[in-house]
Structure 1
């Protein structure tokens, strides 16, 4: 039984990956902070929780018996106040764990980057595209770019590191939930989306993302990146899918981006000083002004990345959120 070390295993993508690894016969050591919510890993055999964080100095000792590392963990925040936290966890944390893996003799690492690190273009972009870092919107995207550079540098120095860049995963077990695709779903379910802005996302079933990680372990090339994505959909198309799934009406009018931007600016710059929890991040509105469309054909061709219809993932995400009390019952 191969032993693997997984960071971020309590989170959305990580928990789905851990379940897949166990199903495929691996024993998983899952790194988790002392205050982590472990509900996603309950009642799973062949998983051992390792207490610590990405910047722990003794990480290499924790993974000496493992053959492989999946570095999935990242701090995901679109709030501008979290700039230093993003750098500490995403950039320095990645640097530390890659060094630990090298010291521990890990044979191969799969590093979870993001399409956020690639940026956007005028149309659909693939792995060959790279927006200048100064053009990446928000501190989260910049932190993922610099984190990915840590992986690129490690691979260039001879460490076996494969990079995967998920787009927007959709599906069950997003306990936080993430402030992109699932925020859209929850706002729709809670009837807090009376209108929409013209934007678009690439969506993929989170189980396919998990498979993409495992396939990258076996088939990926060190130092290369693979976009894990599926369908490019406008926000209107996503909302229409949700309407069909739930029998709730989809919003049918658009609003200019300056309206949510004004709300976000007031929230984040003014009302937070008065103790209010902001509801819309400025950087989130800025991101939505660009269609985030990606071409995952390299991962499909070279890794065999599955392409489950996104409608199925949206339906299961809706069912999971309702079943777990994220939406008030009428």
Structure 2
């Protein structure tokens, strides 16, 4: 790698949770940053930063013109939804958008791309088995159109790498920390805990990581990653109960003690999406979200630790950062 001071980086998704931390890290490491944003984007996460902002769309055939003059690309942007009615949007943004971004990168002379996939694209092991980058659930077994769209987008990145384009793939698990502006599903768990809206919990489990470590994982992938390879950016496998107990220690608020059988939220979600939503009612529980939560989503990030030097900061510190940020930003009340 050349001196970062002479390097210009193009970032999609810089207004989001992971992207905002990545932009800050790139600036700290003295890269010049140009960020693609949608005209309707909330720019709060980029305010007061020394970033060149350009408005555009992932599917713009002339996107390469906005990338011209940049050496590297971080394609972080993605559309996230677990609602079945958003199927077309998921494929348009995540699959077609990624294909177009990769074509634009090649046309613009981008030397190396880091594509942000997700552990969602890898799938899960049977009966809670911990899996690594060598695992792949079949497309049919991936729950919901979000996971399917991320799998297909990742396939596009791998195909680009197979033809000689420099593309490294990173697969974040569930990041935790500040700047979770939307918020993400993990942020939503923290918020519902803080708002006392979680009297019961599902027996499920996830892999968690400090979002700042995810940002470092992206930069390390640019510097050290192998083109065509994927790297899980994760850290600690925890049950939802263990996460809630950690939140209880941080906040001195009581953690829920009762579990709820999966059939109950499944029935609620089915009624919400299949019956009430078509009648014009706003659904509250996504069916695919409940179906996902029935699976233990545990991952092994040792490849990224070994080959990239991925940091493994304490998850509890990231939880405290998230709690403090949500409270200070007025999300709780």
TM-score by length of 1: 0.98
Match status 1:112 vs 2:126: no
Deviation, 1:268, is 1.6
Match status 1:306 vs 2:311: yes
Deviation, 1:270, is 2.1
Counterpart of 1:318 in structure 2 is 323
* Among candidates 59, 62, 66, match of residue 58 of structure 1: 62
Match status 1:32 vs 2:2: no
Counterpart of 1:187 in structure 2 is 192
3-state SS, counterpart of residue 151 of structure 2: helix
Match status 1:97 vs 2:82: no
Residue-pair matches, total? 326
Q: Deviations over 1:21-57 (max 9, x none)?
A: 0010011110000010000000012x11110010012
Deviation, 1:58, is 1.1
* Among candidates 74, 78, 91, match of residue 74 of structure 1: 78
Moved more, 274-283 or 314-323: 274-283
Q: Deviations over 1:191-224 (max 9, x none)?
A: 1111111110000000000000000000000000
Counterpart of 2:172 in structure 1 is 166
3-state SS, counterpart of residue 319 of structure 1: helix
Task: State how 1:133-152 maps to structure 2 within 5 Å.
Answer: 133-152=139-158
Deviation, 1:251, is 0.5
TM-score by length of 2: 0.97
Deviation, 1:261, is 1.0
* Among candidates 252, 268, 280, match of residue 273 of structure 2: 268
3-state SS, counterpart of residue 200 of structure 2: coil
Deviation, 1:273, is 2.9
Deviation, 1:72, is 0.3
3-state SS, counterpart of residue 305 of structure 2: helix
3-state SS, counterpart of residue 322 of structure 1: helix
3-state SS, counterpart of residue 241 of structure 1: helix
Match status 1:176 vs 2:176: no
Q: Deviations over 1:75-103 (max 9, x none)?
A: 00000000000000000000000000001
Separation of aligned partners in 2, 1:200 and 1:131: 18
Counterpart of 1:245 in structure 2 is 250
Deviation, 1:325, is 1.1
Q: Deviations over 1:118-147 (max 9, x none)?
A: 000021000000000100000000000000
Separation of aligned partners in 1, 2:292 and 2:211: 22
Separation of aligned partners in 1, 2:94 and 2:207: 23
Gaps of 5+ in 2: 1-5
Separation of aligned partners in 1, 2:24 and 2:280: 39
Task: State how 1:222-261 maps to structure 2 within 5 Å.
Answer: 222-261=227-266
Separation of aligned partners in 1, 2:291 and 2:136: 18
Separation of aligned partners in 1, 2:192 and 2:282: 16
Counterpart of 1:153 in structure 2 is 159
Counterpart of 1:132 in structure 2 is 138
* Among candidates 289, 292, 295, match of residue 290 of structure 1: 295
Deviation, 1:233, is 0.1
Gaps of 5+ in 1: none
Counterpart of 2:201 in structure 1 is 196
